[in-house]
Amino acid sequence: MSRSFSTTAVANSIRAKVMLYSQYGQPDQVLKCVSHKLPSSPKGKEVLLQTIACPINPSDINQIQGVYPSRPELKPQYEQSEPVAVGGNEGLFKVLAVGDQVSGLQEGDWVIPSNVNFGTWRSHVLSEESALMKMEKTISANQAATIAVNPSSAYQMLTLFEELKPGDWFIQNGGNSQVGRSAIQIGKKLGLNSISIVRNRDNLKELVDDLTALGATKVITEEENASKEFGKTIAQWTNGKPIKLALNCVGGDNCTNMARKLGQDGTLVTYGGMSMKPVTVPTTLFIFKNITAKGFWISANIQRIPGSRENSIKAVQKMMEEGDLVDVKMHENPVSADASEEEVYQAFQKALAKSNQGKQLVVFT
């Protein structure tokens, strides 16, 4: 289901609104919205884009805070007195116009950035064609706007570290996170069995039913994960088959107990540390069980493995097309692409303020 858009009449120039910062700090203190003129007729290999939607990812916030290892360079641009960078890494854009040397894109096409640090928090942008990846309009705009990070991370982690075959088992904590929910669905599509660890809660049954409906083989609580006794139940589920892969975005005891579930030669992959506690693994798991512990960071991984970004996006998109990977619940914060700087600023700040209450998207209408 593609979102439909009216093709904006292209005047001589366009006022692009850009969310930028000149120093690191809290987004509500350092971000501002400025506008600058873009030519309505791009030249050569340039492509003029209007933003359709862009998410607020935790790493976007960490970049602005200055605590994320990969960040866009602060540089002189947009006639600002100080060097600045533009917020946001993920987003979906539509092509308004193309230069005469652009070969693979045309007006109305959907594109996403080919790489990180694109600066997606803006209404319009003039980009080189080479920095863009065309998206077929076979999935929703919200899916396309958020395909590059969370579902792609889940796909890459499930296919990169172990050669998992249909029937194999993996285990993950943060089962209800964006990546966790993607991993459940992608895992099922790949024929894998999954055990997802979630926090206990009042409406646990609802969550278990929800994740099971997505394709989770088993959903367990942190308490069950911590129980030695419960290990026997898991061994019954897996019929003694070794669990080959564990995906960790929590750390601390949760991660340690999850690592104990791994079979001989299994791999523990850490991609987050929500508990703020480190990864602790008993010595014997390394020596006698030959566990490997690794990290996963999609920004580095797509640099390390050429083509991995495009490949995983294509694989994930196909799963979305076929209904194997369903829309994540997202909160849309709409604003007109023609709105004022202040209106665009408010839309982003509203989304940022709610960013710990579910996935936020700024949607340009």
Catalytic residues: 68
DSSP state of 353: H
DSSP state of 131: G
* Residue 292 interacts with a second copy (CB under 8 A): yes or no: yes
* Residue 272 interacts with a second copy (CB under 8 A): yes or no: yes
Q: What is the pattern of x (binds a second copy, CB under 8 A) and - over residues 252-271? A: ----x-------------xx
Angle at CA of residue 196, ends 149 and 312, nearest 5°: 25
* Residue 300 interacts with a second copy (CB under 8 A): yes or no: yes
Distance of alpha carbon 189 from alpha carbon 82, whole angstroms: 49
* Residue 293 interacts with a second copy (CB under 8 A): yes or no: yes
- Least separation in angstroms between CB 225 and a second copy: 17
* Residue 288 interacts with a second copy (CB under 8 A): yes or no: yes
Q: Number of residues interacting with a second copy: please give it, by CB under 8 A.
A: 28
13: enclosing H helix or E strand? strand 13-21
* Residue 295 interacts with a second copy (CB under 8 A): yes or no: yes
CA distances from 56 to 205, 229, 257 (A): 29, 41, 31
Q: Are strands 46-56 and 124-128 parallel, antiparallel or unpaired?
A: antiparallel
- Least separation in angstroms between CB 140 and a second copy: 30
Stretch that binds a second copy, among 169-177, 197-205, 272-280, 353-361 (CB under 8 A): 272-280
The token pair at 88 is: 């946001």
Pair 60, 89: CB distance under 8 Å: yes
* Residue 296 interacts with a second copy (CB under 8 A): yes or no: yes
The closest of 258, 285, 294, 288 to 161, measured between CA atoms, is 294
Stretch that binds a second copy, among 186-194, 201-209, 279-287, 342-350 (CB under 8 A): 279-287
Q: What is the pattern of x (binds a second copy, CB under 8 A) and - over residues 18-57? A: ----------------------------------------
Name residues contacting a second copy, limited to 121-150 (CB under 8 A): none
Among 44, 66, 69, 108, binds a second copy (CB under 8 A): 69
DSSP secondary structure, 324-338, as one string:
SSPPPPEEEEEE-TT
Distance of alpha carbon 180 from alpha carbon 175, whole angstroms: 4
Q: Is 354 in a helix, a strand, or coil? A: coil
* Residue 286 interacts with a second copy (CB under 8 A): yes or no: yes
Among 30, 285, 326, 328, binds a second copy (CB under 8 A): 285
Question: Which residues of the chain form contacts with a second copy (CB under 8 A)?
Answer: 69, 251, 256, 270-273, 278-297, 300
